[in-house]
Amino acid sequence: MMTLEEKFRALEADNAPGQEVRRKTGDLNSIMRGEKLDGIPVDFSHGDVDAFPPAPGSSEAWKNGFESGGQQAYTEYRGAGRIREELADRLGKFTGKLISADRELIITPGTQGALFLALGATVTSGTKVAVVEPDYFANRKLVKFLGGEIVPVPLHYQGDPSDNGPDLNRIEEAFRSGTKVFVFSTPNNPTGLVYSSSSITAISTLALAHDVTLVVDQLYSRMLYSGEVYTHLCACDTQPENLITIMGPSKTESLSGFRLGTAFGTSKLIDRMERLQAIVTLRAAGYNQAVLDTWFQEPDGWMEKRIREHEAIRDELLGIFRAADLVTATPQAGSYLFPQLLPLDVEPSTFVRLLRHQAGVTVTPGTEFAPGLSDSIRLNFSQDHAAAVAAARRIVRMVEIYRK
């Protein structure tokens, strides 16, 4: 049994995206080589919603929510019925899965909220949970907070695209040896890898066979690049009994400031998630829920343009990193890049702090995504194009300065 002290050590958040402002930098001056590098500071730890502003109509939708008063301030814990009705329909069309608005859908405070509720509803002391490495950092922390046991599953992402993907043998092995829950993101955070149709089918079939609950985080599934194909597990022919799919408008649509997410799937689990939400936050902020009315309803061409602009940034940054021999997988979707650094004279964690201090570039260390990946860094490239390119060049310059 973990003490509270141990439990909260496992939740250490000093390197989490957005928390960099709390770090001390006093010791860096004695380590720093040369001068500070000029350039517009870029915070790659999250997307820049000033460069890619919120989807059109969001503040107007919020105002409608506010003006509808009490009914929107105090919704059911799972979210306003009218909004869920319309959303279930649109999410159903996007994923190819019929969703019951009444029984199978919950609105949450962000997709982070959805993840917490989904794992809170399925993980307790001793529950074995398969977690992909690398994957979104909160997955591992959530399992630890809930007292579960992590069963790591490797993701291959740097090889030949046709060999890449989650290690299906390790997944089967985990499922055979008592794993009860499998949580993963596709597109993968931090690599941008999209699970292939055959991987998705295999995972779904294995989960059914071994009665494993699946929690599939599809946060970035709308931002799919040219020529890529996305497979929705929830629409597979063969499915496990317990399945939760998570989506939200925070990323591609730049609506993170509203803290809105959704989860849909097995009614029994959605019920549990609502009960948990009742004691965690009651509900997603009432007026904000109305902003979901704009989701999957963006003006014609808006999403296509946004994807095209991100793809252009992706391609230019990939070129810069690869020219400098930093191995970097091609993101198939989403706005994350996960370059691998070269061997350095300083600890990777120090290098990340130097990047911010000396080069004005904030990135998230790879260790947030898998304990062993200290030589990689994650960038959210949803940024001003020119500033991102200049900042990527500064990263390369910094690698040269501190190279072993």
141 vs 310, beta carbon nearer its own copies: 141
Taking a C-beta distance cutoff of 8 angstroms, is the pair 181, 189 a contact?
A: no
- Asked if 369 interacts with its own copies (CB under 8 A), we say no
Judge if the upstream peptide bond of residue 134 is cis by omega within 30 degrees of 0: yes
Distance between CA 7 and CA 4 in Å, rounded?
5
- Asked if 18 interacts with its own copies (CB under 8 A), we say yes
- Asked if 150 interacts with its own copies (CB under 8 A), we say no
Taking a C-beta distance cutoff of 8 angstroms, is the pair 276, 120 a contact?
A: yes
68 vs 197, beta carbon nearer its own copies: 68
Residue 70 CB contacts under 8 Å (≥ 6 apart), including other chains: none
Q: How many CB atoms lie within 10 A of CB 312?
A: 11
The residue type found at 108 is T
- Asked if 8 interacts with its own copies (CB under 8 A), we say yes
- Asked if 244 interacts with its own copies (CB under 8 A), we say no
The residue type found at 357 is H
- Region of 148-156, 164-172, 232-240, 279-287 interacting with its own copies (CB under 8 A): 279-287
Judge if the upstream peptide bond of residue 187 is cis by omega within 30 degrees of 0: yes
Q: Which of 110, 148, 166, 190 binds its own copies (CB under 8 A)?
A: 110
- Asked if 381 interacts with its own copies (CB under 8 A), we say no
- Asked if 24 interacts with its own copies (CB under 8 A), we say no
- Asked if 82 interacts with its own copies (CB under 8 A), we say no
- Contact mark string toward its own copies, 203..232, x via CB under 8 A: ------------------------------
- Asked if 308 interacts with its own copies (CB under 8 A), we say no
The residue type found at 288 is N
- Asked if 401 interacts with its own copies (CB under 8 A), we say no
Q: Where are the beta strands (DSSP E) in 291-353?
A: 336-337
Residue 50 CB contacts under 8 Å (≥ 6 apart), including other chains: none
Residue 173 CB contacts under 8 Å (≥ 6 apart), including other chains: none
Residue 91 CB contacts under 8 Å (≥ 6 apart), including other chains: 97, 99, 105, 247, 262, 264, 296
CB of 295 to its own copies, least distance (A): 16
- Asked if 7 interacts with its own copies (CB under 8 A), we say yes
Helices (H), 56-210: 58-67, 70-73, 81-95, 110-120, 137-145, 168-176, 197-210
| Count of residues touching its own copies (by CB under 8 A) | 70
- Region of 83-91, 111-119, 340-348, 386-394 interacting with its own copies (CB under 8 A): 111-119
17 vs 152, beta carbon nearer its own copies: 17
Q: Considering only residues 114-143, where is the footprint of its own copies by CB under 8 A?
A: 116, 120-122, 124-126, 138, 141-142
- Asked if 16 interacts with its own copies (CB under 8 A), we say yes
Q: Phi and psi for 375 in degrees, rounded to 5?
A: -90, 10
- Contact mark string toward its own copies, 39..68, x via CB under 8 A: -------x-xxx--x-----x--xx-xx--
Distance between CA 8 and CA 2 in Å, rounded?
10
Nearest to 185 by CA among 126, 127, 282, 251: 251
Residues within the interface to its own copies (CB under 8 A): 1-4, 7-8, 11-13, 16, 18-19, 21-22, 46, 48-50, 53, 59, 62-63, 65-66, 69-70, 72-77, 81, 109-110, 112-113, 116, 120-122, 124-126, 138, 141-142, 145, 147, 254, 256-259, 271-272, 274-276, 278-288
